[in-house]
Amino acid sequence: MSLQAGAGRRYLRAFVSAFCVAVPVTVTALDRLAYVARVEGASMQPCLNPEGARASDVVLLNRWTVRNYEVQRGDVVSIMSPMNPQQRIIKRVIALEGDFIRTLSYKNRYGRVPDGHFWIEGDHRGRSLDSNSFGPVSKGLLHGRASHIIWPPNRWQRIEASLPPNRGPLLNWSLDEEDS
């Protein structure tokens, strides 16, 4: 009996020891590297959730690639909502700091994205709460970049950075041109 009890204690100690290492490593990996998130709503259709409420996409959000708050135009990103800090939203980056943008319904028709900010929009115009509602978004709200659709299996794919037609920064435009 004592041999079995000693072996049981060793197994229990080994399990507890492995558990105490695995939990912090997993939490750190999820915090620093990547995690998965379910995308709800129609704001990113047709890129995400093309079938609507019948099938929500699940995406891999890469946290490592945005650790220095660097994104590119066309990236699909997850941010903390400027309207509700308890909520994360997923949108496409349309313009970066310093870019001039033509807004769709913001308070000014044209604007410059301030330093430390970017302009985000949903792909489904008119069904998205985005920068056209709340303005440029601070880089500090950036949470991750959607890199892959991982569910449902028939939609497994990499999410490529791309800009919708007629969206993006204005080229060869300055504040002086608006006044003329």
Which residue is it, tokens 């028939």?
154
Is 2 an annotated catalytic residue? Answer: no
Burial label for 61, CB within 10 Å (0-12, 13-18, 19+), is: buried
- In sequence order, the 6+-apart residues with CB closer than 8 A to the CB of 96 are 71, 72, 73, 113, 118, 119, 169
Catalytic residue among 43, 78, 131, 147: 43
Token digits of residue 156: 């497994």
Burial 87-107 (b: 16+ CB within 10 A, else e): eebbbbbbbbeebbbbbbebe
Distance CA 143, CA 164 (A): 22
Catalytic residue among 78, 91, 128, 147: 91
Token digits of residue 66: 């945005």
Is 17 an annotated catalytic residue? Answer: no
Report the catalytic residues: 43, 91
